[in-house]
Amino acid sequence: MTWQGWLQIAAVLLAVLVIIKPLGLYMARVFAGDRTPLSPVLAPVETGFYRLAGVDPRREQGWFAYAIGVLAFSLAGFLLLYAMLRLQAYLPFNPQGFGALAPDLAFNTAASFVTNTNWQAYGGETTMSHFSQMAGLTVQNFVSGATGIAVAIAVTRAFARSGVKELGNFWVDLTRATLYVLLPMAIIVALAFVALGLPQTLDGAMAATTLEGASQTIALGPVASQEAIKQLGTNGGGFFNVNAAHPFENPNAFSNYLNIFSMLSISAALVYAFGQIVGSRRQAWALLSAMAILLVTGIGIVYWAETAGNPIHLALGVDPALGNMEGKEVRFGQAMTALYAGVTTGISNGGVNAMMSSLTPLGGLVPMFLMQLGEILPGGVGSGLYAMLVFSILAVFIAGLMVGRTPELLGKKIEAREIKLAMLAVLLLPTAILGFSSVAAMLPAGLAGLASAGPHGLSEILYAYTSAAANNGSAFGGLSANSPWYNTTLGLAMLAGRFAYIVPVLAIAGALATKPRVAPSSGTFPTHGPLFVGLLIGIILILGGLQFFPALALGPILEHVLMLAGQTF
Amino acid sequence: MLAQLRPAIVLMLLFTLLLGLAYPLAITGIGQAAFPAQANGSRIERDGVLIGSSLIGQNFAGAGYFHPRPSAADYNAASSGASNLGPTSMALRNAIVERSAALALDMPVPADAVTTSGSGLDPHISPAFARTQVARIATARALPPEQVAALLAATIEHPVLGLIGEPQVNVLRLNLALDAMAPPAS
């Protein structure tokens, strides 16, 4: 580790810190339905959309109708994307003449992008036409992110309101999140990306003759426009097979900064918007502090483990100066790789600028663990905020048990119904991850995909289902996941991880909205101080740790011990 | 329930038109007009022939050129890929042994010289790896080693302000400069 490395990490995180307040305040205005500086341009588009769709923007929905809206919209997106991928050969913008995707791969990819996971069982430049990338994947990058934001805003309103059933109108929140937040930012970031070197063309490839006279075909496409929303919507599905390790997705240090800044900003600012809407910015900073402490710790561990290198390789005479370089790019070095790996899994991005599978065992454990915590640091756009609120509900509940009082969060009494629903949501992740992983580890169809023997093989399976159920999308890429077994089960894990979480969360919101907000008394446990931050971190770690520690012990932890002993497989 | 079907379908189609066609095509139009070099893949041409992209690594095997890192994708820029080998992989260990033996250095081997990159298309090597190749190139091109070393030193990209980025050498650019300085013996 070097001080330059830490300074680079600090600079990116500081830039995010600076934008949290202005962007958070802007989003609070957007979702209050207020006019914004962009309204003169966007309001007519918005109104036109509502008219064509038959939406009355003033009519709000209760939690159940809101949830049905989420599900109906996601189903429509899923079916449209599936159809596009299956009919790819007959659609335009296909300069390389790619054929249709197989049914299991199309199912997996459609589930992947509709759930904001963006797991790639396919190689972008060898599978997807420009039409599929633009009209299929890019669109879902926008709207799946906007769906997450909408749900988070609905939950936020539940805390701000009292004695009502309505949480807002899903169609309005979805449209405003897309038009007022994601689209303007995507345009700015995409153009900056082009300036930094990302291609943006409808050509399919260019044919070069190398200096040594060999021919090299270089895949091209509308990369910048997709990369921008891939980061802003915390999607992570790259244009190319190797994602943001590809020099055309991430050509230099500045593009790498912008990638990381883009993927963190909206999620972090949404927490501030939450504080603004519920009238307690201190609550927002308390949640952000808990997220920042865990995230920076994770980044630090990856940075340390990768700089320390792999003793098996060092014993062969490899110079330790650069650290573990397998699967990494020279232009990023260890600091920017560690930052990317921590952020992409702390939030729900899943893009990578180095291969997760080739990280050292502890370096690879951290991304896996950050996903297993539920991706709340600060998480996917929207999904991170509502997952963090679920953990906050559990934290005040446990604090309430310790002192024997009815728990409250922001003046809302937390009662049996909320706790049951919160536990239902929290238990989903371990059920899906450990359940699918253990079945895959026993079935020939699951074992057939393994690239590694020994504990790394188990890590490949565990990482895949963790990534799918947590809607992340990164991978230990050795696993041959493009098989009917993995395409189907991972697709199911993604759908469960997304929608079986959103429905109970919206049900909690529905229950909270009807409750009155009680004024804090001398007996109220304050939820914006260091004590609460510590308690929240404790709950997150205990839930994550207890559930997943045995599995992690058999995978990355065992591999670390064997690596120190010089064992290879 | 049915009342929600219309907005679900209509909005999905409207968003597809706006975000799936208008947005990327508008960015393509603006990008092509404002930044044509970058938007078309940072092409490098010599004597009217497309040599490659300054951002994409290509393979060099001849003794008279600086060599790039090993590549799991064989520098196939139409299909990027990584080894994905894990830290306790025997295949990775054996590969490092083989690559180190081929380099035959009497000093610790720079890590990037014996490992594959994330993309398989890494256009850069570390200055340390580049320096180990100076003597070979000087011999192959019958040049004084100091002259090759000076060219290398001038080609090393240092972190901006000593902070942003990593010290690196773009192999294609360096080899082009090498050819410009002393045309390859044919």
Q: What number is the average pLDDT over the span B112-134? A: 97
C-alpha dihedral, B152 to B157 to B161 to B162, nearest 10°: -70
SS3 A512: helix
In total, how many domains does chain A have? 1
Interchain contact B164–A (C-beta under 8 A): yes
Would you call A247 and B57 a contact, using CB atoms and an 8 Å cutoff? yes
**Closest by CA position to B5, among listed A93, A422, A65:** A65
| pLDDT at residue number A523 | 80
- Candidates A122, A138, A128; CA nearest to A99 is A128
SS3 category, A335: helix
Nearest CA in chain A to B45: A208
Question: Where does the pLDDT of residue B1 fall: very low under 50, low under 70, confident under 90, or very high at 90 and above?
Answer: low
Model pLDDT for residues A68-90, shown as the tens digit of each residue:
999 999 999 999 999 999 999 99
Q: A196 and B38: CB-CB below 8 Å?
A: yes
- Angstroms from A290 CA to nearest CA on chain B: 28
Which residue type does B39 have?
Answer: A
The count of residues in chain B is 186
> Which of A509, A121, A100, A325 has the alpha carbon at shortest distance from B166?
A325
Calculate the average pLDDT of chain A. 95
pTM: 0.96
Q: Are B31 and A200 in contact (CB under 8 A)?
A: yes
Q: First-to-last CA distance in chain A?
A: 29
Angle (deg, nearest 10), helices A281-308 and A530-552: 40
List pLDDT tens digits, range A192-225.
999 999 999 999 999 999 999 999 999 999 999 9
Residue A462 lies in a domain: yes
Handedness of CA A142, A144, A145, A146 (dihedral sign): positive
pLDDT at A103: 95
Chain B partners of A110 at a C-beta cutoff of 8 Å?
A: none
Tell me if A199 and B41 make a contact (CB, 8 A cut-off): yes
Counting residues of chain A whose pLDDT is more than 90, the rounded percentage is 93
Q: Is B109 on the interface with A (CB under 8 A)?
A: yes
CA A436 vs CA A129, A411, A464, A495, B126: distances in Å = 32, 39, 10, 13, 42
Element housing A466 (H / E): helix A455-469
pLDDT at A35 over 90: yes
Q: How far is B144 from chain A (nearest CA, A)?
A: 22
Please report how many Cα atoms fall inside a 13 Å half-sphere around the Cα of residue A381, on the Cβ side. Answer: 32
The verdict on residue A249 lying in a domain is no
Yes or no, beta carbons of B53 and A218 under 8 Å apart: yes
Distances from the Cα of A64 to the Cα of A58, A72, A170, B173, angstroms: 18, 12, 11, 60
Give the confidence band of B183 by pLDDT, cuts at 50, 70, 90: confident
Tokens describing residue A444:
């020939």
Question: Which of A72, A252, A318 is nearest residue B108 as measured by Cβ atoms?
Answer: A318
Distance CA A315, CA A321 (A): 14
Q: What is the pLDDT of residues B24-33, one digit of tens each?
A: 999 999 999 9
The whole-number average pLDDT for the span A462-475 is 95
**A378-395 confidence digits (pLDDT tens):** 999 999 999 999 999 999
Q: Which residues of A touch B16 (CB under 8 A)?
A: 80, 135, 139
For residue A479, what are the domain limits?
405-564
Compare CB distances from B124 to A224, A330, A454 and report the shortest one's residue: A330
Cross-chain Cβ contact B83/A326 below 8 Å = yes
Size of interface A-B (CB pairs under 8 A): 380
Q: Which helix (H) or strand (E) holds A409?
A: strand A408-409
How far does the CA of residue A312 sit from the closest CA of chain B (Å)? 7
Chain mean position to CA A239: 17
- Residue A517's pLDDT is 92
d(CA A93, CA A201): 11
Identify the pLDDT of residue B163. Answer: 87
CA distance B17 to chain A (A): 8
Give yes or no for residue B185 having a pLDDT over 70.
no
Cβ within 8 Å, pair A331-B176: no
Q: Which of chain A's residues have a Cβ under 8 Å away from the Cβ of B140?
A: none
The reported pLDDT for the residue numbered A470 is 94
Using pLDDT thresholds of 50, 70 and 90, give the confidence band for residue B184: low
| pLDDT of A124 strictly over 90 | no
Output A272 or A546, whichever has higher pLDDT: A272
A406 confidence band (pLDDT: 50, 70, 90): confident
Nearest to A435 by CA among A356, A497, A345, A373: A497
Model confidence pLDDT, tens digit, residues B153-163:
999 999 998 88
Question: How far apart are the CA of B39 and the nearest CA of chain A, in angstroms?
Answer: 4
Please tell me the distance from the alpha carbon of residue B143 to that of residue A255, in angstroms, as a whole number: 38
Counting beta carbons within 10 angstroms of the beta carbon of residue A163, is it exposed (0 to 12), middle (13 to 18) or buried (19 or more)?
exposed
Q: Provide mean pLDDT across the span A111-122.
A: 93
Is residue A293 situated within a structural domain? no
Tell me what ipTM this predicted complex has.
0.96
Tell me how far CA of residue A217 lies from CA of A183, A206, A207, B44, in angstroms. Answer: 33, 6, 5, 14
* Residue (of A412, A396, A427) closest to A508 by Cα position: A412
